[in-house]
A and B are shown apart, each in its own frame.
Chain A
């Protein structure tokens, strides 16, 4: 995290980076129960507009939650809110980075612009997160 605002909320959050692999998609499918072949079956995915398997959106979104948990701890679990759009697919082999920048803050809460970008700088997830601030 970097420079704190007047509210005490950091201006930027320390980014979280992950390289997504096909093995991770298999692990995530088992952990979440989401075995959609779009994520797991090369032959099926080849017949979709994506051409190959793509990561589960909720897996990539988990990197945003990790970013917020590492930045705010229990506060994220006790009143955190997230509103996001999935903008582009993430493919196995992609390196993605979740980051956040302070948008506004009061004494009670801070709102961050959050995003996940791939190694090419393309936004794959964009949105906002609101975190309660300790009194």
Chain B
């Protein structure tokens, strides 16, 4: 995707996301989070949802390999049970070029039915000339 063409308000992604019991366990092992709450209550670590949303957003944009994550806002509205299907949306909020670096701000959300589960805003810096992948 041509990063220069991204417009504020543009929807980059709108698709379902399911984090299975296995996915949640794999995530907990990867981040070495030994808090027992998630396994005990069969809920997904909220950062696992955020991470999957981020990856989906980055894949949708086709960010170059050297893109760097510089800021992150997150809101966890409600716990997400393992295996729950979330409706995920990623939108462009800002797309600015400053001193040779492109700053892309994306808004992410994961909704269960009518209820917001996770929302966030991420800022990514891309050095111009790295191209797109």
Binds B, one of A4-12, A79-87, A104-112: A79-87
CB pair A34 B79 closer than 8 Å: no
**Which residues of B, 64-83, contact A by the 8 Å Cβ criterion?**
65-79
| Contact code string A84-118 (vs B, CB < 8 Å = 1, else 0) | 11100000000000000000000000000000000
A82 to B65 alpha-carbon distance, docked (Å): 26
CB pair A77 B31 closer than 8 Å: no
A30 to B30 alpha-carbon distance, docked (Å): 9
**In this assembly, does B89 line the interface, its C-beta being within 8 Å of a C-beta of chain A?**
no
| Contact code string A18-39 (vs B, CB < 8 Å = 1, else 0) | 1000001001101111101110
Chain A contact surface mostly:
helix
Min CB distance, A6 to chain B, in Å?
A: 26
B47 partner, pick from A38, A61, A78, A79, beta carbons under 8 A: A61
Which residues of B lie under 8 Å from residue A83 when comparing CB positions?
72-74
CB pair A62 B70 closer than 8 Å: no
A58 to B71 alpha-carbon distance, docked (Å): 10
A56 to B69 alpha-carbon distance, docked (Å): 8
Closest to B124 in A: A57
CB pair A24 B30 closer than 8 Å: yes
CB pair A30 B79 closer than 8 Å: no
| Contact code string A58-81 (vs B, CB < 8 Å = 1, else 0) | 110111011001100110111111
CB pair A70 B55 closer than 8 Å: no
Min CB distance, A76 to chain B, in Å?
A: 7
A80 partner, pick from B41, B46, B55, B63, beta carbons under 8 A: B46
Going nearest first, the 6 A-B pairs with the smallest beta carbon separation are A31-B30, A57-B69, A33-B55, A27-B30, A32-B51, A62-B31
22 pairs, CB–CB < 8 Å, chain A vs chain B: A24-B30, A27-B26, A27-B29, A31-B23, A31-B29, A31-B30, A32-B54, A34-B55, A38-B66, A44-B65, A57-B68, A58-B50, A61-B47, A77-B37, A78-B77, A78-B79, A81-B76, A83-B72, A83-B73, A85-B70, A86-B69, A86-B71
Binding site for A on B (CB under 8 A): 23, 26-27, 29-33, 35, 37-38, 41, 43, 45-48, 50-52, 54-56, 58-59, 63, 65-79
Q: Can you name 11 extra interface pairs (CB under 8 A) apart from A69-B45, A82-B73?
A: A28-B31, A31-B27, A31-B51, A32-B30, A34-B54, A36-B63, A80-B76, A82-B74, A82-B75, A86-B68, A86-B69
Binding site for B on A (CB under 8 A): 18, 24, 27-28, 30-34, 36-38, 44, 48, 56-59, 61-63, 65-66, 69-70, 73-74, 76-86
